[in-house]
């Protein structure tokens, strides 16, 4: 997911470089300047490159009586040369190209002080590399340059590096050391930051146990903790944004608290955190990006009323997810948002929703109840894909709709999600809801939510221990009820729907 665009671009570039102009000493070259000064790049030769052992690149080669200076190692030059163990790069070389040594067998390399740039994916997957020193001549390191170098235990960045791309040390074990005089980057205990230490760029996967992010940090970078072995991460209240794939595949992470300062969570930020069973999304978050909790172990989730949109594949493949609360603030649900949430028994689509993407609830094979409360089903139909509930057994499902809308919904072609399907239509909530409705948190401090109302309008009455009514309010669905002004004590909450009146207890602490 993370590299499709970059890889496509890389492939587009590399196709034209696979021809070589000549070979010398078993190494293939492309002429990069055919006039003085004459220069060449070491290049890739498809189906021919099979380097093994130690290779020494000369600083110059002669071809047709012309002496060429070797100034660069080109795109994919030694890619997948699994027998290559070490290489000597001459001081004439100034750049190392994209994928130059990717997935090769290198166990050691010395980058000469003439090199000024290291390309994207240059050493990707070089699992035999144990240490790397970036010389003071290098000013830029490309995206994912050393990713998946799992045995890279020591990384030293000089003072001259001014640009570090995305995921440069992604999935590396090595602790990162930055020269103290570097004007752009710094490190603390092996973790890479920008100079001001306001952005956490990369935490090595060798870090285990607990980690407390410094209070100076206001943003967690893309892939910052991806594949980390940490079991506990404390995010300070200074953090306002979490980058894409920031905690992807943190297999040991069982829970994490996102502070109320966070307003932005990047795509796939917590994807494939399979042991992550619970998480609280703060009310500061206004949108949930694509795939944020994709394939996690979440069992239930409450989306705050600040959220207006749910992106694509957000909860896809969350097979343990049994309940979810979508607030009435949400107006759109993206493609595949709850795809293959097989343990999900019921879902509420609040009246605020005007667009539901393709396959939003596809393969939710455990669905038994669907609560659909848009106010104008006829107008809404054009924005709802026909396959929203693909592969859901709607004959075993009951679709609950408001009393006033039953006649509209029964014309199935006016709501495409159920077009040409056999569905049981029922007005309002099912008759036996007393076990499904709960108040949380309980005890409560400032207020509580009511789960299980599923979008239905109802009247609540709160009665104190003396029998006095202290609050009466009409609410829609699982709306938050504020009780901060009430004294501490035990209260009875009466919830009146069209079908019944339910009593629950709440403790104000």
Confirm if 261 and 235 have CB atoms less than 8 A apart. no
Q: What are phi and psi of 135, to 5 degrees?
A: -70, 165
Residue with tokens 């069982």: 254
Q: What's 138's domain CATH number?
A: 3.80.10.10
pLDDT at 413 over 60: no
Q: What are phi and psi of 461, to 5 degrees?
A: -130, 130
Query: Which strand (E) or helix (H) includes residue 14?
Result: helix 4-14
Which tens digits make up the pLDDT trace of 40-61?
Answer: 999 987 666 677 888 999 999 9
Mean pLDDT of the region 378-386: 49
pLDDT at 421 over 50: yes
SS (H, E, C) 455-478: CCEEEEEEECCCCCEEEEEEEECC
Long-range contacts of 206-210, Cβ-Cβ distance < 8 Å, separation of 24 or more: 206/153, 206/173, 206/174, 206/175, 208/252, 210/234
Instruction: Judge whether 329 lies within some domain.
Output: no
For residue 130, the tally of other CB atoms under 10 A from its CB is 14
pLDDT at 3 over 60: no
Q: Copy the structure tokens of residue 11.
A: 């492939």
Residue 444 has what DSSP assignment? B
Output 17 or 358, whichever has higher pLDDT.
358
Total count of domains within the chain? 2
Residue 115, pLDDT score:
96
Mean pLDDT of the region 399-409: 59
User: Residue 5: which pLDDT band, with cuts at 50, 70 and 90?
Assistant: very low
Chain mean pLDDT for the chain:
83
Tell me the percentage of the chain whose pLDDT exceeds 90.
Answer: 45
191: left (phi over 0), alpha (psi -120 to 50) or beta: beta
pLDDT at 326 over 50: yes
Residue 501, pLDDT score:
76
Instruction: Judge whether 312 lies within some domain.
Output: no
Residue 473, pLDDT score:
87
Q: What are phi and psi of 379, to 5 degrees?
A: -70, -30
**Quick one: which of 26, 226, 214, 10 has its CA closest to 120?**
10
pLDDT at 14 over 50: no
pLDDT at 329 over 70: yes
Give CA–CA dist 338/346, Å, rounded. 12
Residue 9, pLDDT score:
36
Q: Copy the structure tokens of residue 486.
A: 């009430």
Give CA–CA dist 139/155, Å, rounded. 16
Tell me the percentage of the chain whose pLDDT exceeds 70.
Answer: 83
345: left (phi over 0), alpha (psi -120 to 50) or beta: alpha
Per the DSSP assignment, residues forming a β-bridge with 156 are 133, 177
Give CA–CA dist 163/180, Å, rounded. 16
Instruction: Judge whether 444 lies within some domain.
Output: yes
pLDDT at 215 over 50: yes
Confirm if 110 and 89 have CB atoms less than 8 A apart. yes
Instruction: Judge whether 81 lies within some domain.
Output: yes
User: Residue 1: which pLDDT band, with cuts at 50, 70 and 90?
Assistant: very low
pLDDT at 201 over 90: yes
Q: Of 144, 173, 202, which residue constitutes the final position of a domain?
A: 173
Instruction: Judge whether 251 lies within some domain.
Output: no
Q: Of 173, 196, 231, which residue constitutes the final position of a domain?
A: 173
Output 152 or 403, whichever has higher pLDDT.
152
Q: Copy the structure tokens of residue 227.
A: 């594949």
Which tens digits make up the pLDDT trace of 301-324?
Answer: 888 888 999 999 999 999 999 888
Output 123 or 412, whichever has higher pLDDT.
123
Confirm if 132 and 153 have CB atoms less than 8 A apart. no
Output 426 or 420, whichever has higher pLDDT.
426
Residue 269, pLDDT score:
96
Instruction: Judge whether 292 lies within some domain.
Output: no
Q: Of 173, 202, 237, which residue constitutes the final position of a domain?
A: 173
pLDDT at 241 over 70: yes
User: Omega into 229 within 30° of 0, i.e. cis?
Assistant: no
Report the range of poorest mean pLDDT among 11-20, 70-79, 349-358, 484-493: 11-20
User: Residue 133: which pLDDT band, with cuts at 50, 70 and 90?
Assistant: confident
User: Omega into 483 within 30° of 0, i.e. cis?
Assistant: no
Please give the distance of CA 440 from its chain centroid, rounded to a whole number: 28
Domain assignment of residue 35, given as a range: 1-173
pLDDT at 4 over 50: no
Confirm if 192 and 170 have CB atoms less than 8 A apart. no
User: Residue 374: which pLDDT band, with cuts at 50, 70 and 90?
Assistant: low
Instruction: Judge whether 393 lies within some domain.
Output: no
pLDDT at 107 over 60: yes
Residue 317, pLDDT score:
96
Residue 174 has what DSSP assignment? P
Instruction: Judge whether 99 lies within some domain.
Output: yes
Q: Is 396 helix (H, G, I), strand (E, B) or coil?
A: helix
Q: Is 408 helix (H, G, I), strand (E, B) or coil?
A: helix
């Amino acid at each position: 997911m993370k590299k499709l665009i970059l890889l496509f671009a890389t492939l587009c570039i590399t196709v034209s470089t696979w021809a070589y102009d000549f070979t010398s000493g078993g190494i293939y070259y492309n002429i990069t300047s055919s006039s003085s000064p004459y220069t060449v790049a070491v290049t890739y030769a498809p189906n021919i490159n099979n380097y093994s052992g130690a290779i020494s690149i000369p600083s110059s080669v002669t071809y047709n009586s012309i002496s060429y200076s070797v100034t660069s190692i080109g795109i994919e030059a030694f890619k997948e040369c699994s027998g290559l163990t070490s290489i000597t790069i001459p001081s004439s070389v100034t750049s190392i190209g994209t994928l130059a040594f990717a997935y090769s067998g290198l166990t050691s390399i010395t980058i000469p002080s003439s090199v000024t740039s290291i390309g994207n994916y240059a050493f990707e997957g070089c699992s035999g590399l144990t240490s790397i020193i970036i010389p003071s001549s290098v000013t830029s390191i490309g995206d994912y340059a050393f990713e998946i170098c799992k045995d890279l235990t020591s990384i030293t960045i000089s003072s001259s590096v001014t640009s570090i791309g995305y995921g440069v040390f992604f999935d590396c074990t090595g602790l990162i050391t930055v020269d103290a005089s570097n004007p752009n980057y710094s490190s603390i205990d092996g973790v890479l930051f920008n100079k001001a230490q306001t952005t956490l760029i990369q935490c090595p996967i060798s870090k285990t146990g607990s980690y407390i992010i410094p209070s100076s940090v206001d943003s967690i970078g893309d892939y910052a903790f991806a594949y980390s072995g940490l079991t506990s991460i404390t995010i300070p209240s200074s953090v306002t944004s979490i980058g894409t794939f920031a905690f992807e595949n943190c297999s040991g992470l069982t829970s994490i608290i996102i502070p109320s300062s966070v307003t932005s969570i990047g795509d796939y930020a917590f994807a494939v955190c399979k042991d992550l069973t619970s998480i609280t999304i703060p009310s500061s978050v206004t949108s949930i990006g694509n795939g944020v909790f994709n394939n996690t172990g979440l069992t239930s989730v409450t989306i705050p009323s600040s959220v207006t949109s749910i992106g694509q594949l957000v909860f896809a493949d969350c097979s343990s997810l049994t309940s979810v609360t979508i607030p009435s603030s949400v107006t759109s649900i993206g493609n595949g948002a709850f795809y293959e949430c097989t343990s999900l028994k019921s879902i509420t689509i609040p009246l605020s929703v005007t667009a539901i993407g393709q396959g939003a609830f596809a393969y939710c094979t455990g669905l038994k109840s669907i609560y659909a409360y848009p106010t104008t089903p006829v107008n809404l139909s054009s924005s709802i894909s026909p396959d929203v509930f693909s592969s859901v057994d709607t004959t075993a499902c009951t679709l609950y709709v408001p009393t006033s809308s039953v006649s509209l919904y029964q014309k199935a072609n006016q709501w495409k999600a159920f077009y040409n399907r056999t569905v049981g239509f029922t007005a309002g909530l099912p008759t036996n809801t007393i076990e499904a409705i709960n108040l949380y948190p309980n005890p409560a401090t400032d207020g509580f939510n009511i789960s299980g109302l599923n979008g239905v309008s109802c009247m609540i009455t709160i009665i104190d221990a003396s029998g006095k009514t202290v609050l009466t309010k009409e609410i829609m669905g699982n709306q938050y009820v504020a009780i901060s002004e009430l004294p501490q004590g035990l209260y009875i909450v009466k919830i009146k729907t069209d079908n019944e009146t339910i009593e629950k207890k709440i403790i104000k602490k």
